[in-house]
């Protein structure tokens, strides 16, 4: 069946804060522009997960009257705490200046994104939720023409079912890619246009989060706690966050840098173990866990930002990597990158042809406040390659003495190359979940409301089906079983223990992309499933 096509001035791939900010800014500049946003989740906000504490600088530039528009920023940050944990103690440390949240708000980023969606629609932006952009389309001259959504109703055998509906081609004069971390189409653009030739390797973390209803007597709206230390060893980058929102709810999460070395490490189980700490556990006792999710985040900072433009399109937000790691915030920088891109795209569309490369975007972004903000903290994340204490010492030196003006830039390395062989690392004995504050993966996935159409090809593609057993199991003890926070990857055997083989439970996938990043052989390729699949996060 031939695919239908639709034409727009601008197609935006991804309905997160960056994509929606770009759409809003485009319509503010020129209400006559025909702008479309594609969102693979079942609704805007369904796949959005972050801590989150939001800095309002970009929001105030985009929508200065956001308070009058009832933006869901309901809980001002009131109290910052930074703790170092040992197995039994919590030692309060001085809060780094980058983590000072005075003037910021604790939010549900999903609800904030839903609100942005309503603002975009009010301006005339067309939002197509439940449609996954599965393919980049190109003109004969090699420039980006737009994207095509994935076919619906393809069975596991790769053949059309009775419910088959072909994808739709969305043609655009300019296409803005706002896919979030490790975007599946962005990866193909990196290769086709060699966008990463002049930047460092991107490095990532995995963030795992739960939302809890807690005892009102323990609830302190506006309280922010971050921890480092236990349960991680001092050579593994990571830590926790704990944010008191409104309505007696607490967001708690744990981030582990995906450059960890020990293949026996399980980020999910480290998170569950964290909640059993004597300084943390009492907050959750008597409460109820109401949601769970996970996602990867781009931690490379300034030196890992790729070339942002190519003929026919641009990259914005976390798909390019604008997270300010020491600040533990990226929404404001993602939104600002999208606003700058929208301004440059709108200007180009007024004067240039469809295949024009909007180089002004990259040039203008370097003149905005995003670039100096990221430049000032560029060395802090890579300094933790020297371990927790080396990283803290260097960060203090750069922050307080040199104030981000070091004449050098530290380097990153690919996360998957950091993993050592299983025989070289100690095994980690994780306690069984108690069902009170700690839980197993499958019960966690259940409350993420994750769902995929069962009869469809797995969207987790193995480049070589033999690798999971022949290499990953043999040398790394099948780390897929542990770095995935959703139980997607499983080594199964015959009853007598023979014939080990990899089983992929694709229906469990939270779309976090960790497998695409951390697989030591880079054998896993994450592509989009049918639109509308994946988690359905409420209030996350």
Q: Please give the Cα distance from 274 to 246 (Å, whole number).
A: 23
Q: Encoding tokens for residue 93?
A: 């440390």
Q: What is the pLDDT of residue 400?
A: 87
The CA-CA-CA angle for residues 108, 273, 483, to 5°, reads 75
Nearest by Cα to 135 from 170, 180, 90: 170
Helices (H), 16-62: 17-29, 57-62
Query: With helix as H, strand as E and coil as C, how does 65-82 read?
Result: CCCCCCCCCCEECCEEEE
Residue 64, token pair as written in the block: 């200065």
CA geometry: angle at 192 spanning 531 and 16, to 5°? 35
Task: List residues bridging with 136 in a β-sheet.
Answer: 147
**Residues contacting 53, CB < 8 A, separation 6+:** 77, 101, 104, 105, 106, 107, 224, 243, 328, 329
Asked if 110 and 49 count as a contact pair (C-beta separation under 8 A), the reply is: yes
Chain CA centroid to CA 209, Å? 12
Q: What is the CATH number of domain 5-69+111-201+302-377?
A: 3.50.50.60
* pTM for this prediction: 0.96
Enclosing H/E stretch for 515: helix 514-518
Q: Can you give the pLDDT at residue 351?
A: 84
Measured CA to CA, the distance from residue 146 to residue 313 in angstroms comes to 9
Residue with tokens 């999460």: 253
For 237, the token pair is 């980058």
CATH classification (class only), 416-535? alpha beta
Mean pLDDT by 10 residues, the chain (540 residues): 91 98 98 98 96 96 98 97 97 92 96 98 97 96 96 90 92 97 97 97 98 97 97 97 97 98 98 98 98 97 98 97 96 98 96 78 98 96 95 91 88 96 97 97 96 92 96 97 97 94 96 97 96 93
C-alpha count within 13 angstroms, C-beta hemisphere, residue 483: 31
Determine contact, residues 414/444, Cβ cutoff 8 Å: no
The structure tokens listed for 420 are 């050592």
Strand partners, 165: 152
Q: What is the pLDDT of residue 352?
A: 64
> CA–CA separation, 11 vs 464, rounded Å?
34
**CB-CB contact of 34 with 198 (8 Å):** no
In the block, tokens 């009492």 appear at 282
The values of phi and psi at residue 184, to 5°, are -70, -35
Closest CA to 439 of 511, 487, 379: 487
Indicate the burial class of 512 (C-beta count within 10 angstroms; 0-12, 13-18, 19 or more).
buried
- 30 forms beta bridges with none
Closest CA to 409 of 385, 444, 383: 383
Q: Report the alpha-carbon distance of residue 116 to residue 24 in Å, rounded.
A: 8
Closest C-alpha to 460, from 484, 441, 477: 484
Strands 169-177 and 313-315: parallel
* The token pair that represents 468 in the structure block: 């999971």
Q: Where are the alpha helices (DSSP H) in 316-432?
A: 331-351, 360-367, 370-376, 380-383, 388-396
* Distance, CA of 408 to CA of 348 (rounded, Å): 35
Instruction: Extract the tokens encoding 258.
Output: 């995906």
Q: Are 59 and 71 in contact (CB under 8 A)?
A: yes
Query: Sheet harboring 288-298: ordered strands across?
Result: 90-93, 79-85, 223-229, 238-244, 249-257, 204-213, 288-298
CA distance 459 to 454: 11
Active site residues: 50, 295, 331, 484, 509, 512, 515
| Alpha carbon distance 138, 311 (integer Å) | 10
Q: Cβ(190)–Cβ(18) under 8 Å?
A: no
Q: Which two tokens stand for residue 92?
A: 């309060």
Alpha-helical regions (H) of 275-330: 281-284
Structural domain spans, the chain? 5-69+111-201+302-377, 75-108+203-298, 379-415, 416-535
Helix and strand tally (H, E) in the chain?
Answer: 16, 24
Phi, psi torsion values for 146, nearest 5 degrees: 150, -150
Q: Backbone dihedral region of 122: left (phi > 0), alpha (psi from -120 to 50 degrees) or beta?
A: alpha
Rounded distance, CA 209 to CA 241, Å?
A: 9
- Selected from 3.40.50.1220, 2.40.110.10, 3.40.50.300, 3.30.9.90, the CATH number assigned to the domain covering 75-108+203-298 reads 3.30.9.90
Tokens of 195: 């966008």
**467 touches 533 (CB < 8 A):** no
């Amino acid at each position: 069946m031939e695919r239908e096509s639709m034409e727009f001035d601008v197609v935006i791939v991804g309905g997160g804060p960056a994509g929606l900010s770009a759409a809003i800014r485009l319509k503010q500049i020129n209400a006559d522009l025909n702008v479309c946003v594609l969102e693979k989740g079942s609704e805007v906000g369904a796949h959005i997960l972050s801590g989150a504490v939001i800095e309002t600088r970009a929001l105030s530039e985009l929508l200065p009257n956001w308070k009058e528009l009832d933006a869901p920023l309901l809980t001002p940050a009131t109290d910052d705490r930074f703790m170092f944990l040992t197995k039994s103690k919590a030692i309060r440390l001085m809060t780094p200046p980058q983590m000072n949240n005075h003037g910021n708000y604790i939010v549900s980023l999903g609800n904030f994104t839903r609100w942005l969606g309503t603002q975009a629609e009010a301006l005339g932006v067309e939002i197509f939720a439940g449609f996954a952009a599965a393919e980049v389309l190109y003109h004969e001259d090699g420039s980006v023409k737009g994207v095509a959504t994935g076919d619906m109703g393809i069975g596991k055998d790769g053949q059309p079912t009775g419910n088959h509906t072909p994808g739709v081609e969305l043609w655009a004069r300019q296409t803005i890619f706002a896919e979030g971390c490790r975007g599946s189409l962005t990866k193909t653009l990196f290769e086709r246009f060699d966008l990463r030739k002049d930047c460092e390797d991107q490095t990532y973390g995995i963030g795992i989060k739960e939302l809890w209803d807690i005892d009102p007597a323990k609830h302190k709206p506006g309280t922010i706690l971050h921890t480092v230390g236990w349960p991680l060893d001092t050579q593994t980058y990571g830590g926790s966050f704990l944010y008191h929102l409104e309505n007696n709810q607490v967001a708690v999460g744990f981030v582990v840098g995906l450059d960890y070395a020990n293949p026996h490490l399980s980020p999910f189980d480290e998170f569950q173990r964290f909640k059993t700490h004597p300084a943390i556990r009492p907050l959750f006792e008597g409460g109820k866990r109401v949601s769970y999710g996970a996602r990867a985040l781009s931690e490379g900072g300034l030196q890992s930002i790729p070339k942002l433009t190519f003929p026919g399109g641009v990259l914005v937000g976390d798909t390019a990597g604008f997270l300010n790691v020491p600040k533990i915030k990226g929404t404001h920088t993602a939104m600002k990158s999208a606003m700058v891109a929208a301004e440059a795209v709108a200007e180009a569309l007024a004067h240039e042809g469809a295949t024009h490369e909007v180089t002004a975007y990259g040039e203008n972004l370097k003149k905005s406040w995003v670039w100096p903000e990221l430049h000032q903290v560029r060395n802090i994340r890579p300094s933790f390659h020297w371990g927790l204490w080396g990283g803290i010492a260097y960060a203090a030196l750069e922050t307080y003495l040199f104030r981000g003006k070091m004449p050098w830039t530290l380097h990153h390395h690919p996360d998957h190359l950091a993993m050592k062989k299983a025989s070289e690392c100690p095994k980690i004995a994780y306690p069984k979940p108690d069902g009170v504050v700690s839980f197993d993966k499958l019960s966690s996935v259940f409350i993420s409301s994750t769902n995929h159409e069962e009869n469809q090809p797995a969207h987790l593609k193995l480049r070589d089906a033999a690798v999971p057993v022949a290499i990953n199991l043999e040398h790394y003890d099948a780390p897929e079983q542990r770095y995935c926070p959703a139980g997607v990857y499983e080594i199964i055997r015959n009853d007598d223990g023979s014939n080990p083989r990899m089983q992929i439970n694709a229906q469990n996938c939270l779309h976090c992309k960790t497998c695409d990043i951390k697989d030591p052989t880079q054998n896993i390729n994450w592509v989009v499933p049918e639109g509308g699949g994946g988690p359905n996060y409420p209030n996350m």
